[in-house]
Each structure stands twice: as C-alpha cells, then as structure tokens.
C-alpha cells in the first residue's frame, strides 16, 4: 500500500549487521552464533532479520515454534533453523520432516517419534535441553547423559548439541547463577568424554556474552544484543539500536485551565495548554500502563504523555514546545539530538521490561527497512 500509516516501525538493517559483527568479536573465534529470531525477531520482522543474519554468516536461526520455522523456510531461508523449545510428538515429527532441528527435553520422546517418520524422511536432528537450575524446560543430568550414551543406537537420529538456559546471565543472584553454570559444565564434561563427534554445547545468551566477552560453550544464542540492547538496561557504545518507533502529530487542541483530556478525564489541565493527538494506541503495542507516564520526543524536546492511552491514539502535552505543529514527527522509541528513549526506558515506565516492549508492537504498524 502506497500511503501507509503515519505511525510505523523503522528497522535499521545496517545497525543489525554492525551488531552481528560485534557479537562475533565478543564470542570469540571458533564460536558458532545462533541468531534468535523468535517472536517475529523480537518485533523486528523475522524474515528480514533472518535474511541479513544468513548473509552475515550466522550459523543457526532460533525460533520458538514450528510455525515460526515454517515462515522462514517458506521465505527461502536456508540456514539451519532450530526450534528452541520442546514440541509435542506429532509436531516434532513434522519439524523433522521439514528439515528443522528440534529440541528434546524428555528421553523417551526420541523413542516415540522415531517410528513416526517416513522411511525416506530426513534424519531427526536434535538438541538435548538440560535442566540446570531454572526449572522450566529440560531433562536432568542423568537423563541427558544417558541420551548422549544412546545416540546412534536408533537409525535416522543425529544429535547436534546440548543446551541449557541461564536464569540470571548477568549474575545478579550470584550464588544461584554460579551454581547453574557449574551444574551444566559438569554435565558437559561427562558428555565430552562420551562423545567424540564435536557436539555443540550452548549455555551462553546475550547477557553472559556481554558480561564475559567470551563464550563458555561452543555455540551462543543471541537475541537482545543483535537488536542493539544489553539485558539489564546497560548502555553500549559498540551496539546500535535496530528499531525506532515513530508517528506524527494528528491534531492539536488548545486547553483552558480545568479542561480534561481523554477517557475518564484522568488528566485535567492546570494552565493554558497545547495538547496533541498521536495516532497510535494500545492496539498497536503502546502500553495502556503509560497513561499519564513518560514522554515522547518532538523537535528534539520531551513532550509528556497526558490522559489515558486509547486503543488507537494517545495524547501529549506540547505547551513547552510552542513551535510544534500538526504533522511534526513524534519519536516514541529512538533518538533525536540529546534526547533518547530506548526499550529499557519505555519498559521501566510501563512497569514492564525491554523484551516485552520490543516484541509487543502490533502487526498494524508497518515495518520500514533501511
């Protein structure tokens, strides 16, 4: 559609390429990289991001579910696609038939899904998920070791690697976090002795790669860093934000003292004011919890959010920006001059965090790639 909405998401693919290069340098020579593109690449657009990641030599692409993997395959992506979480038996068989790498967290599942493959089907390529202390997905150490011992005993199976998820990669809860790392590395020492075929082992995600500037495993799974953010809200000069969210002022109203704004009149003007409408709302992913909180950037200045966020619009106070006018650009996520709003800040205002902000933008917002 030629005349797209005035509210949109801008994706800087050059910044993405920069961030992939930075991550490779931090992970270290010989470490394989998995670009995590689940949840539509954290709202950035899984197909476009995967195309760039593939062109930049990323080794694997990580998705959450079978449907996400199919979307990439249907778009012509040829890099190995890993479904990061265990699926049920039928979906795991379908994933194997399509050539995807699956994740197994139950020893018995391999025995169940083997007969479900066609005789001429592709091999079941899989990662073993180890429960190391997060208590979400994964088999316990003894079962993981037994699964590795059994590899090759059933035709049509190919174990690619062993992985776990760190609950606290920045080591904020030092004792629990260190114990989880130790648990996994102990399992890996045993698995290395059992396996001589160069299995990947993966414990590192964005937080641990950022903190350590090296990998504890041979494969790192990177999401947040690719998109220009460090988990925990830390700034990095080396990384570049990939996403900006922008709109334009739809109209401006002159208020007298005592005039209300929006549903429920949750904001009442205490002075002569100029209040503008921005055509984006909670149906687009701008959180309702930002009602009367935070600000946007107009002409390089802060414009506070006033009144309740509506489904399709929210209002801002332009009183301190007298030169502002209808049609002016509104930066919701991004930077203009010295003023900057990143996903960490937006999440903090909303009582949430950056992951939810990035992945929560709605499909109604056009993605524009540059």
Q: What is the DSSP secondary-structure string of 315-365?
A: EEE-TT-TT--TT-EEEEEEEETTEEE-HHHHHHHHTS-HHHHHHT--TTS
pLDDT value at residue 268:
97
pTM for this predicted structure: 0.91
Mean pLDDT within 152-159: 78
pLDDT value at residue 199:
82
- Which residues in 67-102 are b (16+ Cβ under 10 Å) and which e? ebbbbbeeeebebbbbbbbbbeeebbbbbbeeebbb
pLDDT value at residue 148:
80
Q: Which of 110-119, 128-137, 235-244 has the lowest mean pLDDT?
A: 110-119
Mean pLDDT within 41-55: 98
pLDDT value at residue 112:
87
What is the tens place of the pLDDT at every residue in 192-245?
776 666 788 888 788 888 888 888 788 999 999 999 999 877 778 899 999 999
pLDDT value at residue 213:
87
What does the mean pLDDT of the chain come to?
90
Backbone angles phi, psi at 266, to 5 degrees: -70, -15
What is the tens place of the pLDDT at every residue in 265-322?
999 999 999 999 999 999 999 999 999 999 999 999 999 999 999 999 999 999 999 9
Domains belonging to the chain, first-starting first, are 13-227 (3.20.20.10), 243-341 (2.40.37.10)
| Comparison of pLDDT for 321 and 138, the residue scoring more | 321
Catalytic residues: 38, 263
């Amino acid at each position: 559609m030629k005349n797209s909405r005035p509210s949109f998401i801008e994706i800087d693919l050059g910044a993405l390429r920069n961030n992939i290069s930075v991550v490779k340098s931090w992970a270290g020579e010989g470490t394989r990289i998995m670009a995590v593109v689940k949840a539509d690449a954290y709202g950035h657009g899984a197909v476009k991001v995967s195309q760039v990641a593939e062109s930049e030599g990323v080794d694997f692409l990580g998705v959450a579910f079978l449907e996400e993997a199919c979307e990439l395959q249907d778009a012509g992506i040829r890099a190995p696609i890993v479904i990061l979480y265990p699926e049920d038996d039928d979906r795991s068989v379908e994933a194997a038939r399509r050539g995807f790498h699956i994740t197994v967290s139950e020893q018995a599942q391999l025995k169940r899904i083997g007969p479900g493959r066609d005789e001429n089907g592709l091999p079941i390529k899989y990662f073993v998920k180890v429960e190391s202390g997060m208590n979400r997905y994964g088999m316990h150490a003894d079962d993981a070791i037994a699964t590795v011992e059994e590899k090759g005993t059933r035709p049509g199976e190919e174990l690619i690697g062993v992985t776990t998820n760190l609950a606290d990669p920045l080591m904020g809860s030092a004792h629990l976090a260190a114990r989880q790392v130790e648990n996994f590395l102990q399992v890996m020492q045993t698995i290395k002795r059992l396996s001589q075929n160069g299995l990947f082992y993966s414990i590192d995600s964005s937080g641990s790669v950022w903190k350590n500037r090296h990998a504890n495993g041979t494969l790192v799974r990177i999401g947040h860093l690719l998109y220009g953010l460090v988990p925990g809200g830390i700034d990095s000069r080396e990384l570049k934000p990939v996403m900006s969210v922008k709109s334009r002022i739809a109209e401006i109203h002159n208020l007298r003292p005592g005039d209300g704004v929006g549903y429920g009149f949750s904001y009442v003007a205490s002075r002569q004011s100029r209040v503008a409408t921005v055509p984006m709302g909670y149906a687009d992913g701008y959180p309702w919890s930002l009602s009367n909180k935070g600000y946007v950037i107009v002409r390089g200045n802060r414009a506070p959010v006033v009144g309740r966020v509506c489904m399709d619009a929210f209002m801002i106070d332009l009183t301190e920006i007298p030169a502002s006018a209808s049609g002016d650009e509104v930066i919701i996520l991004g930077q203009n001059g010295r003023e900057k709003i990143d996903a960490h800040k937006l999440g903090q205002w909303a009582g949430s965090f950056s992951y939810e902000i990035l992945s929560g933008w709605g499909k109604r917002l056009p993605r524009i790639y540059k």
